Structure 1
Amino acid sequence: MALSICVAQLNPTVGDWQGNLAQALAAAAHAHAQGHSLLVFPELFLTGYAAGDLYARPRFLHDAAQALQQLQEASTQWPSLHILISHVEALDPQTPLPPDTSTLPPASQVVSLLREGQRLGAWRKQTLPNEGAFDEKRYFLSGIHHHGQPDPVIEIAGMRLGILVCADAWKAEPAARAKAAGAQALLALNASPFTHDKPAARLRMARARTQETGLPLLYANLLGGQDELVFDGHSFAMQANGQTAGHAPAFEECLWPLRLAAGPDGLQWLSENDASGPISESSANSPDALRHHATWHALTLATRDYVRKNGFSHVLLGLSGGLDSALVLAIAVDALGADRVHAIMMPSPYTASISVDDAREMVQRLGVRYDEISIRETFEGFKHSLAPLFAGRAEDATEENLQARIRGVMLMAISNKFGGLLLTTSNKSEVAMGYSTLYGDSCGGFAPLKDIFKSEAFALARWRNGHTFGLGPANPIPERIITRPPSAELRENQTDQDSLPPYEMLDAIVRLRMQEEHSAEQIIAAGYPAERVAQVFKLLRISEYKRQQSAPGPKLSARSFGRDWRYPITNRYRD
């Protein structure tokens, strides 16, 4: 006999009770029609994950309870279907304070099992992450501190299944506790954001739990973009021996069926309609190609969801004829379609004719709406107005920044008039160094490249030009855009390397500083020139005020500029 399970790898929106509930009801109807006995939702599906201080609002918690009640009542429509759903639940004010705690958090994370109008049980998340993008201890009380918390085990069709909620699976104790309570398999409900190293890390984690417990494990993950977080789905099942049995697709919604059956050595997974067979940790594709593939799909999903979930009809961006704006344009078209993208070229006296030519060629390839607005007269008008005040002073970065700010004003005016979301094109290298103009080219509501180093952007552009399956038009970026030396084109014969180290060196130094927390001395000892290290450290430090005013962008690395980077603006510390 086998237990038929459906994993609802779906894309909720924070606070969209009716939309999330509608998805849950549709998934339950599908699961019942297909004869499944258990429907599993990822972590905090009903509320959406990363709701921040909404978790502390009594009305939000009340509405969460109402949504759960509606799902519970609707479950009478699907006899014999068990629904495992994760949600938030307000704490009873009389709950005893945990040791070494002065205030009670407002809620706890709960997993409820529903069937035929009944709530058969409720289990609370035990391990609360509190680093990087996570601050769950601010909002939730661990299930460890709930008196009378039942063993995290459910029984369906004679099979005993242990429940783990995301971070619970990354520790040995919750899985061991479930096994000690009689679990024969583990169900891990997750809202695990994507980073480049996360898929492999999840497999390592799952393999550790299966080897420690001797139990098979199901990893059900959330999907979708939520501000700077990107949830990639990629749910999977792992046998007790640590071998993957199958997986759902990455970066796609699905209702993934699989079965749990008795085998000669205990329960084992039988995957149905697997996305592409067992997850392979080696591939005929190169590691770089696999990374670029995942990066591109993460960027398009994040951009699409930010636009859709925030109610924008279309996007616009300033096209310069350079790499970053070209890459953002290609991402936007793949994410939304050409009919929802507006590119605007704003040449100045310093814009090269080949920049305009390359911009025109790219928009022709992609078929997006395109407009050109010269800023020459506006720029001269500003200089004329400021001439009395600037008399006797040579032109410098002030006049360069004026051009960027004129473009920012024009783009924001178009955004205001027509209601589109302005995408900013700054990459991680520029964000790190403050190599942008505040209220100029940094204008915008979303920054797709915020966690993409410039050196990575070149490789990503080449990858996109060589891949079309499931994406937009082929070869979207003209070759000259990729091969030309990068330039802001704000003065004659300008290149980025007039102001910055070569990008390969710059990006390596920033990685060592951000990811490894290396000191200047350690980085110099690794072979980087002392003067370049000092330059990067100084620019990184003094640009904090710009970063704290920058648009959000998708987090793809282990440490990005956003929730992971929390340095003060006023800061005299030097290391």
Structure 2
Amino acid sequence: MRIALAQVNSVVGDIPGNAAIIREWARRAAEAGAHLVAFPEMMLTGYPVEDLVFRESFVAASRDTLRQLAADLAADGLGELPTVVGYIDADGPARLGATVTIAGPPEDVPSPIDRGPRDALALLYGGRVVATYFKHHLPNYGVFDENRYFVPGDTLTVARIGGVDVALTVCEDIWQAGGPFAVARQAGVGLVVNINASPYELNKDDVRLSLVARRAREAGAAVAYVNMIGGQDELVFDGDSLIVDADGNLLTRGVQFTEQLLVHDLELPESTVDASRSGPADVFDDEVDSDSEGGAGIGKRQAAGVRDAMHIERVLVSRAMPASAGAQPEPGFGGGEHPPRSSAAPAADGGMADRVVDEAEVWQALVHGLRDYVRKNKFPSVVIAVSGGIDSAVVAAVACDALGPSNVVGVSMPSSYSSEHSKDDAADLAKRTGLSYRVQPIQPMVDAFLTNMAEAGSPLSGLAEENLQARVRGIVLMALSNQEGHLVLTTGNKSELAVGYSTLYGDSVGGFNPLKDVFKTMVWRLATWRNEEAVRRGEQPPIPENTIRKPPSAELRPGQLDTDSLPDYGTLDPILAGYIDGDLGREELILAGHDAALVDRVLRLVDLAEYKRRQSAPGTKISVKAFGRDRRLPITNRYREAAVPIATPAHDPVKSSTQT
């Protein structure tokens, strides 16, 4: 069987546009001689749709477009290519068991929504929807809230395609042991197709491969895993589609962050099971992988010990694979057979994509996350405050890679405290990247504010005066955004967001933040890697070396350095990673070797900055726990990990500290 996995990008809510993408890539699969093509989870609607799922009109549009898509594929001459598509459905009364051999068209399904929306999969063939499957395991951790949105399915759909029994599953079904994959073994399938919209995290590709291999051994069948690519708000999907055999051996693997049709020939056992034999299969979910999408232990607390009384529903699509180009199609469900493929045709091997270093992986995630946010929201360009510092330099380089330098505007906004080397570094960055560069001095505007405030009897000094500079810069950026239509990119990194080292409505102003989930130490690593990559390509490195080497500074007062207010980032970031990403408490951090007084100080800063983070721009998630999507804490919160009493938050000077 020649399998095609369509690792493609969708747009949430653009149901007609997504249907057109499916038609185009199904055509490519047919041209490649595929006997089966699979698209990602919720490909038709985009993922995640969040509260759109509660709109009956949205669910109806998904169902109606699915029916039309099946007819359109047939009209395109692709009706005999079994096509697996993710969409959103809603069903009537719960099915008590599979009693039919062939699924009827959606028109035969009751329309009232008695059990709620479903994260669904459909098999399209012969111009019709011949089978559906509803996602069984619903993740409810990290970025996932699927218990809020969907009702789980209780039936494993097994389709007889070319004489091979193929089980159909969705995303989280593969992340937990038991359930559909255990039932697939009972059903005696030769292949399990698993369609996904699995968000990117650093090093998740390693976890993904070992997981798919385990599920293949559990099912006793080959597994074809297809994943979405592209960005959706804070999430970015990396593809990394793959196929393993029944022993878990990797056969082919797609390229990360690239639209691709992964095509591979599989030798699969012909089914000997009666295609009309449907019925119950009892499975216990008594094991949940510790490396589930939500992290160690999260899935176990949620799902362990849940009994799955699943049913098996068998659907006959086609009985035999054609032997040659001259073979006559055998009548099947759609009145035909798969597109014949010559026995002399070369075997399809999708190949094995090379793995890349962490910095390259993260860079691609940031580029794709920003590109899709800008393009899908139809912004013509972006504007960035370029200060000569490392954060704005990396954001500018990411933006130029994502959008092209002609669509990136960099604005240098020096004040009386801006150093000559910072102004020179900003200009050098613009020259190296080719972005559109402007200089807008802010000191006259700052002086006007200071004079006005003093004349009104409220002279500003200290932190208030420092933060005024950052807020004037924010005003300039938003004015350019309003006047010229640019999306403002803010440049604060995860370390600064964690401890509140920013100015509200100043350097934090913006519509998107590429570095929101990137610790400062990783920012330096990314800058070094990107320059080295440019040298390998024979190009000019985009980031000035002086920007990488010099100590970071907000330059809001004479001689200011970040270390005046914060520990060195090499010391700070491991504490932040443990507390934020690892959910470690005070004592655990101290046992890990961190200084107790420093731990108390850092945890206090993090806890007091929640109100700032709640107002921060969205940004691409690259870690196991990103602010906003994953880490959700109350703003009004007196609980502290520290062992000493905490001062009233309103008097904490860190709330006014800043970084540009």
If the length of structure 2 is used for normalisation, what is the TM-score?
0.80
Task: Name the counterpart of 1:553.
Answer: 619
Task: Name the counterpart of 1:39.
Answer: 37
Deviates more, 1:124-133 or 1:255-264: 255-264
Q: Deviations over 1:548-567 (max 9, x none)?
A: 00000011111111111110
Whether 1:127 aligns to 2:137 is yes
**After the TM superposition, which parts of structure 1 deviate over 6 Å for at least 4 consecutive aligned residues?**
469-472
Q: Deviations over 1:63-85 (max 9, x none)?
A: 11121012111121214211111
CA distance in 2, matches of 1:454, 1:312: 28
Task: Name the counterpart of 1:529.
Answer: 595
Any idea what SS the aligned residue of 2:266 has? strand
Structure 2: give runs of 5+ residues left out of the alignment: 97-112, 273-345, 642-660
CA distance in 1, matches of 2:199, 2:162: 32
Q: Using a 3 Å threshold, how does the CA distance of structure 1 residues 356 and 472 change in structure 2: closer, same or farther?
A: farther
Give yes or no for contact 1:104–1:141 (8 Å, CA) kept in 2.
Answer: no
Give yes or no for contact 2:194–2:224 (8 Å, CA) kept in 1.
Answer: yes
Give yes or no for contact 1:193–1:230 (8 Å, CA) kept in 2.
Answer: yes
Q: Using a 3 Å threshold, how does the CA distance of structure 1 residues 271 and 328 change in structure 2: closer, same or farther?
A: farther
CA distance in 1, matches of 2:637, 2:122: 47
Any idea what SS the aligned residue of 1:524 has? helix
Q: Using a 3 Å threshold, how does the CA distance of structure 1 residues 431 and 176 change in structure 2: closer, same or farther?
A: same
Q: Using a 3 Å threshold, how does the CA distance of structure 1 residues 271 and 441 change in structure 2: closer, same or farther?
A: farther
Whether 1:195 aligns to 2:201 is yes
CA distance in 2, matches of 1:116, 1:565: 46
**Superposition pairs for residues 500-519 of structure 1, below 5 Å?**
500-519=566-585
CA distance in 2, matches of 1:419, 1:388: 36
Whether 1:352 aligns to 2:419 is yes
Task: Name the counterpart of 1:482.
Answer: 548
Task: Name the counterpart of 1:382.
Answer: 449
2:9 to 5, 8, 11: 11
Any idea what SS the aligned residue of 1:344 has? strand
The amino acid across from 2:490 in the alignment is T
Fraction of identical pairs, as percent: 42
Whether 1:497 aligns to 2:563 is yes
| Deviation of the 1:129 alpha carbon | 0.2
Q: Using a 3 Å threshold, how does the CA distance of structure 1 residues 561 and 20 change in structure 2: closer, same or farther?
A: same
| Deviation of the 1:32 alpha carbon | 2.2
| Deviation of the 1:138 alpha carbon | 0.7
Any idea what SS the aligned residue of 1:335 has? helix
CA distance in 2, matches of 1:202, 1:469: 32
Give yes or no for contact 1:55–1:106 (8 Å, CA) kept in 2.
Answer: no
The amino acid across from 1:24 in the alignment is I
1:172 to 164, 177, 187: 177
The amino acid across from 2:420 in the alignment is S
Q: Using a 3 Å threshold, how does the CA distance of structure 1 residues 318 and 342 change in structure 2: closer, same or farther?
A: same
The amino acid across from 2:416 in the alignment is P
Whether 1:543 aligns to 2:543 is no
CA distance in 2, matches of 1:438, 1:456: 24
Give yes or no for contact 2:604–2:640 (8 Å, CA) kept in 1.
Answer: no
Task: Name the counterpart of 1:333.
Answer: 400
Q: Using a 3 Å threshold, how does the CA distance of structure 1 residues 213 and 69 change in structure 2: closer, same or farther?
A: closer
Task: Name the counterpart of 2:531.
Answer: 465
2:350 to 258, 263, 274: 274
CA distance in 1, matches of 2:375, 2:124: 31
| Deviation of the 1:516 alpha carbon | 2.3
| Deviation of the 1:529 alpha carbon | 2.1
| Pairwise CA RMSD | 2.1
**Superposition pairs for residues 141-290 of structure 1, below 5 Å?**
141-144=151-154, 149=155, 151-173=156-178, 174-262=180-268, 272=348, 274-276=350-352, 290=357
If the length of structure 1 is used for normalisation, what is the TM-score?
0.92
CA distance in 2, matches of 1:412, 1:454: 25
CA distance in 2, matches of 1:471, 1:439: 39
The amino acid across from 1:535 in the alignment is R
| Deviation of the 1:182 alpha carbon | 2.3
| Deviation of the 1:401 alpha carbon | 0.5
| Deviation of the 1:105 alpha carbon | 6.1
CA distance in 1, matches of 2:169, 2:496: 40
Deviates more, 1:326-335 or 1:168-177: 168-177
CA distance in 2, matches of 1:481, 1:492: 19
| Deviation of the 1:472 alpha carbon | 11
Give yes or no for contact 1:467–1:474 (8 Å, CA) kept in 2.
Answer: no
Q: Using a 3 Å threshold, how does the CA distance of structure 1 residues 366 and 571 change in structure 2: closer, same or farther?
A: same
Q: Using a 3 Å threshold, how does the CA distance of structure 1 residues 402 and 332 change in structure 2: closer, same or farther?
A: same
Deviates more, 1:120-129 or 1:520-529: 520-529
Task: Name the counterpart of 1:54.
Answer: 52
| Deviation of the 1:539 alpha carbon | 1.0
Give yes or no for contact 1:366–1:473 (8 Å, CA) kept in 2.
Answer: no
The amino acid across from 1:41 in the alignment is F
Give yes or no for contact 2:67–2:129 (8 Å, CA) kept in 1.
Answer: no
CA distance in 2, matches of 1:567, 1:369: 40
Q: Deviations over 1:479-498 (max 9, x none)?
A: 00001000000000000010
Q: Using a 3 Å threshold, how does the CA distance of structure 1 residues 516 and 557 change in structure 2: closer, same or farther?
A: same
CA distance in 2, matches of 1:68, 1:263: 31
Q: Using a 3 Å threshold, how does the CA distance of structure 1 residues 372 and 471 change in structure 2: closer, same or farther?
A: farther
Whether 1:84 aligns to 2:91 is no
The amino acid across from 1:82 in the alignment is P
| Deviation of the 1:152 alpha carbon | 2.2
CA distance in 2, matches of 1:565, 1:540: 12
Rg larger for: 2
Aligned length: 548
| Deviation of the 1:220 alpha carbon | 0.5
Any idea what SS the aligned residue of 1:143 has? coil
The amino acid across from 2:430 in the alignment is V
| Deviation of the 1:515 alpha carbon | 2.3
